[in-house]
Amino acid sequence: MTFWKALGSCALAATVWVVPAAQAQEVVIGQVAPLSGVLASTGAQMVLGGRIYFDHVNSKGGVHGAKIRQLVADDGYKVDETVRLTQEMLARPDLVALYGFAGTANVGRLLADGVLEQGGAALVAPYTGGEPLRSPFNPWIYHVRAGYADEAEHMVQQVTTLGMRRVAVMYQDDGFGKAGLVGVEAALAKRGLKLAVAAGYERNTDRVDEAVTKIKASDAQAIIMISINKPTAAFIKRYRESGGGAQLYNISVVDPAELVKLAGIKNAHGLGISQVVPYPYMPNLPVIREYQTLLAKHAPGEHVNYTSFEQFLGAKVLVEALRRAGPKPTRAKVARALETMGAYDLGGITVNYSPENRVGSRYVEVTVIGSTGKLLK
């Protein structure tokens, strides 16, 4: 049975899925992820990336002799569920940190409701680049990825360098999508340009027909999508089949293989996707070689994936914080270890945290889906 199938069966059986850890002495971390609904495939990769590194650490004796126990709960990408499940996790006195949540709106509600502050726990490597989670400064979230504004700047720079001036945005109508939209508008404004048109779709749906019609009518030369797998694929397919010929880009939160599967290679070919971690398919960095080795060892049958690699990096950050926190870590000790981590080399990729900085990396590059469906640099 593959990890994906095993995870799916566990998620259906209970709200919280626990990665086994039989040792009496444990360090408990909590992860709320979308294991059902429109972001389910992404959620499974998020959990997988952490799991293979935690399994590796546990196989070597754990951290200061304690095994890491990963609690995972499925929020279905629903904000209210994220809050409820996080509160349940934080009610556990043995939980020392949170890790790898998804959704700008979901994590934003945790901040707005004071859930992280009241629980006194750091959240490491959320799968979101929303600027409201970064500015104004908040002390509870430790980002591994660049922000959506960084991604938007990079994509707009590429588009305008290629001579395109009419840029449209297709976005998810929530905190995530609006954060990306604002980033694109700001990047265009820096170059004396205005957005050609913006069209949204409802969160947790793939109803994009109105967006297709509106954007196609704008005669945009480039379309930047701030959207997740299913609505992105639906937009690409319907836009291309209606005769739309603009250059398409998407922010980093999509899975290229899923897009090819859902939209078809004919439609997905040529899509540009911004990435916030280095290309994980070529073992040209020590941390990529480590990731590929541990993926093959602890999740045979699973494939290299940007999302699992990003969360693998987040797991390495969290484990290093656990080491620095010392034996019998507490939430306060782990948070302090993260805050004072400084520049830390994960294996060719460096993150940097301080009392004044929680954005560990601003790395961005753009990849393209090639004619065979493979992702190219």
133-180 pLDDT tens trace: 999 999 999 999 999 999 999 999 999 999 999 999 999 999 999 999
Convert 256-294 to b/e letters by CB count within 10 Å (16 or more is b).
Answer: bbbbbebbbeebbbebbbbbbbbbbbeeebebbebbbeb
Domain that holds residue 317: 3-147+282-353
**Percent of residues, the chain, with pLDDT higher than 70:** 94
The answer to whether position 372 is within a domain reads: no
Count how many domains the chain has: 2
17-72 pLDDT tens trace: 444 444 458 999 999 999 999 899 999 999 999 999 999 999 999 999 999 999 99
The answer to whether position 366 is within a domain reads: no
Q: Is the pLDDT of residue 288 over 60?
A: yes
Strands 272-275, 365-369: pairing kind: antiparallel
Most confident of 8-12, 24-28, 218-222: 218-222
| Residue 275 near residue 10, CB atoms below 8 Å | no
178 vs 171: CA distance, rounded Å: 7
Per-residue confidence (pLDDT) for residue 169, from 0 to 100? 98
Among residues 275, 300, 320, which one ends one of the domains? Answer: 275
Verify that 219 and 155 share a domain, yes or no.
Answer: yes
Verify that 168 and 259 share a domain, yes or no.
Answer: yes
Closest alpha carbon to 254 in 82, 39, 95, 50: 39
Domain with residue 154: its CATH number is 3.40.50.2300
The answer to whether position 192 is within a domain reads: yes
119 vs 127: CA distance, rounded Å: 20
pTM assigned to the model: 0.91
Verify that 162 and 251 share a domain, yes or no.
Answer: yes
Verify that 23 and 67 share a domain, yes or no.
Answer: yes
Verify that 267 and 183 share a domain, yes or no.
Answer: yes
The answer to whether position 167 is within a domain reads: yes
Per-residue confidence (pLDDT) for residue 24, from 0 to 100? 52
Verify that 76 and 191 share a domain, yes or no.
Answer: no
Sign of the CA dihedral running 285, 287, 292, 297: positive
Verify that 46 and 60 share a domain, yes or no.
Answer: yes
The answer to whether position 243 is within a domain reads: yes
Mean pLDDT score, 100-116: 96
Residue 71: Cβ within 10 Å count:
21
Verify that 349 and 230 share a domain, yes or no.
Answer: no
Per-residue confidence (pLDDT) for residue 331, from 0 to 100? 98
17 vs 33: CA distance, rounded Å: 11
Residue labelled with tokens 């504004």: 149
The answer to whether position 321 is within a domain reads: yes
The answer to whether position 106 is within a domain reads: yes
86: left (phi over 0), alpha (psi -120 to 50) or beta: alpha
Verify that 323 and 233 share a domain, yes or no.
Answer: no
Closest alpha carbon to 215 in 153, 268, 166, 162: 166
Q: Is the pLDDT of residue 2 over 70?
A: no
Among residues 250, 275, 300, which one ends one of the domains? Answer: 275
Mean pLDDT score, 190-205: 97
Rounded CA Rg of the chain = 20
**Percent of residues, the chain, with pLDDT higher than 90:** 92
| Residue 72 near residue 21, CB atoms below 8 Å | no
Per-residue confidence (pLDDT) for residue 14, from 0 to 100? 36
Verify that 307 and 260 share a domain, yes or no.
Answer: no
Structure tokens at 350: 């460096």
The answer to whether position 230 is within a domain reads: yes
Verify that 297 and 245 share a domain, yes or no.
Answer: no
Verify that 35 and 122 share a domain, yes or no.
Answer: yes
**131 DSSP 8-state letter:** G
